[in-house]
Amino acid sequence: MNQNQLFQQTRLRLALWYALVMALILSLCGYGIYKAIAHAHWMTLDRELESVAGTLHDSIELKLQQPGRLEPVIEKLLPNICVVGKSCIQQQSNSQRHILSAINQGHYYVRFFDNLGNLFAIAGVYPEGLSPVFNQELWQTIKDDKGKVYHQISFVLHTQENRDWGYIQVGRNLEDFNNYLDAVKLTLTLGLPIIIGLVGFASWYLAGLAMQPIYRSYRQIQQFTADAAHELRTPLAATQATVESALLMPQLDESESREILGTIQRQNQRLTTLVADLLLLNRLDRQPIMQRDVCCLNDIINDLIEEFAALAIANNITLTSTVKEAKFLNIIGNEDQLYRLFSNLIINAIQYTPPGGKITVSLDRNDRYAVIQVQDTGIGIPQPEQNRIFDRFYRVNSDRSRNTGGSGLGLAIAQALVQAHHGSLNVQSELGQGSTFTTKLPLK
């Protein structure tokens, strides 16, 4: 296959197209996975931020008494709180409360605004470069002067007497979130070419596997065309030579004319038989069985034994039959095609069995199948050749086949007829000991 440039190019194009299609599919899948991960992580971040902010809001609002004033108890809840305008030092709280542990994770910050929207106090991580003006939107995603991204939520605070105290704003730095998404993006970006490379190698290998049956069929067609041309050329050349020799003779008597016509008739008969076999194979390929009826294998075998008895005697061969099943074995098939099937096997056995040999045709039953065996004591078939004897125009011994007038289509037709009847045909043979062709056909 490697020597055929056409199939190599086809294999390469098939592998490239497969890899390109897979690259597109994987790219779309990778983009979808990235968006899904980002969305899921963002929703988790929103829920976490809303939970922390809601807990802080509820805890602080219960302790507020006067608008714009931080009660001392709030400083206990948020030890690192810093009022704007005062010098403050960040402290880490030792409290084990969930609220403070979340605030002190290093990502969260809390900002307090008065009723006029002016920044009043800051707790948690002190973000730099954020606008000190309050924005009344519930959710915000903003950037500071250094390009850092923050996500925050805002709530209204009321005093114990339900007066407006101001606003609380809880936010977090998105650096860890963006780093996580960058890591996912990098993994997908680096992983995609590696996967595409593996897909490319796999597609090249799979394209080779897919091309093998096509390549074998292509080679069989090439071989079939060459063999058919060779088989047709031989009788045509012989006919042409006979005609040319006749034309060179100044005068032909009646005996010479009859001899020439006989030669032409034999070659024409050979061409007719060859064309008929090719047409039969073509019909079997297109439409295996034209007509189906109930066929009795016992009658077919007995008729063939009587038909070929004279040919066997002429070749000094003993032809017998053995029926091991007491009942008649019937199948659904085409009687003419079954006659052709078993006659091909018997003729093949007669042609390859030397004088003094024996051919036995046996009929038996095995479960739901009728088993027909044609056993001979002929020259046998070498083991490496047994898988190829059913190929069209294939001969184990060309000289012997030509002497017997064969074209190499008999066993190919037999195989096609067996397959048309949903059966099987195999051979067991030993060189110099003979061959046994076993046919299994499903019973009615």
The residue whose two tokens read 């009859």 is 258
What is the spatial distance between Cα 203 and Cα 7, in angstroms, rounded to a whole number?
A: 15
From CA 290, how far away is CA 421, in angstroms rounded?
Answer: 11
Q: What is the pLDDT of residue 290?
A: 64
Structure-token match 């190599």, residue found: 8
pLDDT at residue number 406: 59
pTM over 0.85: no
- First vs last C-alpha separation in the chain: 44
Assigned token pair, 41: 């992580």
Q: How far is CA 133 from the centre of its chain?
A: 63
Q: What is the 3-state secondary structure (H, E, C) of the chain?
A: CCCCHHHHHHHHHHHHHHHHHHHHHHHHHHHHHHHHHHHHHHHHHHHHHHHHHHHHHHHHHCCCCCCCCCCHHHHHHCCCCEECCCCCCCCCCCCCCHHHHHHCCCCEEEEEECCCCEEEEEEECCCCCCCCECCCCCEEEEECCCCCEEEEEEEEEECCCCCEEEEEEEEEECHHHHHHHHHHHHHHHHHHHHHHHHHHHHHHHHHHHHHHHHHHHHHHHHHHHHHHHHHHHHHHHHHHHHHHHHHHCCCCCHHHHHHHHHHHHHHHHHHHHHHHHHHHHHHHHHCCCCCCEEEEHHHHHHHHHHHCHHHHHHCCCEEEEEECCCCCCEEEECHHHHHHHHHHHHHHHHHCCCCCCEEEEEEEEECCEEEEEEEECCCCCCHHHCCCCCCCCCCCCHHHHHHCCCCCCHHHHHHHHHHHCCCEEEEEEECCCEEEEEEEEECC
**Amino acid at the residue 93:** S
Which amino acid appears at position 337 of this protein? Q
Q: Are the C-beta atoms of residues 434 and 369 closer than 8 Å to each other?
A: no
Amino acid at 98: H
Q: Give whole-number Cα distances, 79 to 70, 85, 113, in Å.
A: 12, 17, 18
Map tokens 């010479």 to a residue. Answer: 256
Residues 224 and 215: their CA atoms lie apart, in Å, by 14
Q: Which two tokens stand for residue 202?
A: 């796999």
| CA pair distance 109, 123, nearest whole angstrom | 6
Give every CB contact of residue 400 below 8 A, 6+ residues apart in sequence: 351, 352, 379
Q: Which amino acid is at 314?
A: A
Residue 188 to residues 26, 39, 413: CA-CA distances in angstroms?
10, 16, 58
Over its length of 444 residues, how does the chain's per-residue pLDDT go in tens digits? 445 677 888 888 888 998 899 999 999 999 999 999 999 999 999 998 998 889 888 888 888 888 878 888 777 777 678 887 776 655 544 444 444 555 655 678 898 998 888 888 888 877 777 878 788 888 988 888 788 889 999 999 988 888 888 899 999 888 889 999 999 999 998 998 999 889 889 988 888 888 888 887 777 777 777 777 777 777 788 888 888 888 888 887 888 888 888 888 888 888 887 787 777 777 777 766 667 888 899 999 999 999 999 999 999 999 998 887 778 889 888 888 899 899 989 998 998 899 999 999 999 988 889 999 999 998 888 887 877 787 777 666 544 444 455 567 788 888 888 888 889 999 998 888 889 999 999 987
- CA distances to 23, 192, 193 from 29, rounded to whole Å, are 10, 10, 14
